[in-house]
Amino acid sequence: LRKEYRELEILDEITRLKYENLLDPSVVGNTRNLLIESFLAWKGANFVPSQVHTAVKWSDKDPYSLQSEELPSWSKIDKKAITIRQRKMSLGDKLRRSSAARHASLSHNQRNRDNTIDTVPRQSSVLPIALQWSNNSCAFDSVLSILIHIW
């Protein structure tokens, strides 16, 4: 947990320096560890930001250790691996595929006749009067909806 807080302190310092346009252009990274690693390479391995709390502050006695991150390797899957996977298809998958193939072979009229349902009385869905919710709605919309229902 202490390591997490230390990393957050360093990331806060990186953010502050970036905001103030004081961050060196060499400080880059696609991941958190790579970013911290490049920052410490620029500032020095023993750099401690000034605002760090004493409980998480690191020193020579309690050094900050950055674990190197190993990125996952990518590889191209060949067709042999795919055919082996298809051979190991379960019985349920085979049944689903055969059902889908049968359904696709039926004519449009046959499918409609098979899928028709006797008329079922539909229940009307009554929606309460309220404001329509959207991505930019706020708490006031909820309060106004409650007040409308009370009134």
Is a pLDDT exceeding 80 seen at residue 108?
no
* Over residues 103-114, mean pLDDT: 56
Instruction: Name the residue ranges covered by the structural domains of the chain.
Output: 1-69
* 1, 33, 34 from 70: Cα distances, Å: 21, 10, 10
Q: Alpha-carbon distance 115 to 107, whole Å?
A: 12
pLDDT at res. 114: 52
Is a pLDDT exceeding 80 seen at residue 21?
yes
